[in-house]
């Protein structure tokens, strides 16, 4: 709710949104409690390990992907959804739906993600040990497309928590309060949620992060067009002594003078990012 208000141009804090929602008795959809039943997982293919080790952060796109399958109930029967998420942007970059959860459905979802790739470097693709992911056809498909297979440990759903979290959010916000008569009706609703709600929301979130990051490196009014003018004289001399070219802030850090001159530097030079380096 807070993010949507910010995207619409409203200036409001998170606490105020929470307070107003509490006054009006508005709350998010609660997660339904269900009792699961264990099943025997397939063994990992030879040479496949858990490369993520529950590290679901990525500094760049197309470095770490996760995939999984969930089922959607309809009056016509079950519909299975397979998705591929990029851990950098949390975008659903690949998806497929079918009334059977076979290896071809998984391959189609991964193939959709591959179509949207911008580079040809290796990408880690993490999944659980379902028979669709351990199949020989799936493993050959990954090898042909420079995808490095990573798999969870047995009985550890937390190893693929990023994908499980997306499915939980999907069912809370979209599926749990619907009664689908046919599989086609469910397909249309899932498509609408992924492509018209979730992915646009994730793109806006990434755009906000990029704006915050670029603002940290924007020159301040005090620095103007010449960053050297705002630096103390000793810092300029030391940096140029070590590095004859035009010194950047990274060069100054290497010169070893930033810490001792930090208190005399203007705030616009150091900024919140570089202040963390001095802790």
**Residue 169 within any structural domain of the chain:** yes
Do residues 121 and 177 share a domain? yes
Do residues 82 and 138 share a domain? yes
**Residue 225 within any structural domain of the chain:** no
Across 80-89, 138-147, 151-160, 167-176, least confident range: 151-160
Domain count along the chain: 2
Whole-prediction pTM: 0.65
pLDDT score of 32 more than 70:
no
Do residues 17 and 129 share a domain? no
Do residues 11 and 131 share a domain? no
Last residue of a domain, one of 146, 169, 203: 203
Q: How far is CA 53 from the centre of its chain?
A: 16
261 versus 126: the higher-pLDDT residue is 126
Do residues 150 and 91 share a domain? yes
Across 129-133, 187-191, 221-225, least confident range: 221-225
Reading the block at residue 8, the tokens are 């619409």
Q: Which CATH number does the domain housing residue 100 bear?
A: 3.30.420.10
Do residues 16 and 84 share a domain? no
Last residue of a domain, one of 172, 203, 234: 203
Instruction: From 256, 191, 242, 249, select the one nearest 220 (Cα to Cα).
Output: 249
Residue 184, pLDDT score: 95
Residue pLDDT, tens place only, 37-47: 445 455 667 67
Do residues 118 and 2 share a domain? no
pLDDT score of 275 more than 50:
no
Do residues 118 and 177 share a domain? yes
Grade residue 236 by pLDDT with cuts at 50, 70 and 90. Answer: very low
Do residues 95 and 149 share a domain? yes
**Residue 163 within any structural domain of the chain:** yes
Do residues 197 and 85 share a domain? yes
**Residue 95 within any structural domain of the chain:** yes
Is the CB of residue 186 less than 8 Å from the CB of residue 74?
Answer: yes
Reading the block at residue 151, the tokens are 């798999």
144: left (phi over 0), alpha (psi -120 to 50) or beta: alpha
Cβ neighbours of 169 (radius 10 Å) = 15
Q: How far is CA 274 from the centre of its chain?
A: 25
Q: Which domain holds residue 19?
A: 1-28
**Residue 39 within any structural domain of the chain:** no
Residue 175, pLDDT score: 92
Do residues 138 and 186 share a domain? yes
Helix axis angle for 136-144 and 103-115, nearest 10°, is 10
Last residue of a domain, one of 171, 203, 235: 203
Summary mean pLDDT of the chain: 77
pLDDT score of 143 more than 50:
yes
Is the CB of residue 48 less than 8 Å from the CB of residue 109?
Answer: no
217 versus 31: the higher-pLDDT residue is 217
Do residues 168 and 87 share a domain? yes
**Residue 253 within any structural domain of the chain:** no
Residue pLDDT, tens place only, 156-185: 778 899 999 999 999 999 998 889 999 999
Rounded distance, CA 176 to CA 191, Å? 16
**Residue 252 within any structural domain of the chain:** no
**Residue 149 within any structural domain of the chain:** yes
């Amino acid at each position: 709710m807070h993010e949507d208000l910010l995207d619409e141009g409203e200036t409001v804090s998170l606490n105020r949104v929470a307070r107003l929602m509490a006054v009006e008795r508005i709350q998010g959809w609660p997660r339904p409690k269900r009792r699961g039943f264990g099943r025997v997982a397939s063994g990992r293919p030879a040479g496949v390990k858990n490369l993520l080790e529950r590290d679901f952060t990525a500094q760049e796109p197309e470095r770490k992907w996760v995939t999984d399958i969930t089922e959607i109930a309809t009056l016509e029967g079950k519909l299975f959804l397979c998705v591929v998420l990029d851990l950098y942007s949390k975008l659903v970059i690949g998806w497929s739906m079918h009334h059977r959860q076979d290896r071809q459905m998984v391959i189609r979802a991964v193939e959709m993600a591959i179509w949207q790739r911008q580079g040809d470097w290796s990408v880690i693709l993490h999944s659980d040990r379902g028979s669709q992911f351990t199949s020989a056809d799936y493993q050959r498909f990954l090898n042909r497309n420079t995808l490095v297979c990573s798999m969870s440990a047995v009985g550890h759903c937390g190893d693929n928590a990023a994908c499980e979290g997306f499915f939980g959010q999907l069912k809370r916000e979209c599926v749990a309060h619907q009664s689908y008569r046919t599989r086609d009706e469910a397909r249309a609703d899932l498509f609408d949620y992924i492509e018209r709600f979730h992915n646009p929301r994730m793109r806006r979130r990434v755009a906000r992060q990029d704006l915050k990051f670029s603002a940290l490196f924007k020159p301040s009014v005090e620095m103007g067009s010449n960053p050297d003018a705002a630096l103390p004289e000793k810092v300029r001399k030391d940096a140029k002594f070590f590095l004859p070219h035009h010194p950047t802030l990274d060069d100054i850090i290497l010169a070893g003078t930033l810490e001792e001159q930090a208190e005399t530097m203007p705030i616009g030079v150091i900024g919140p990012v570089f202040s963390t380096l001095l802790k």
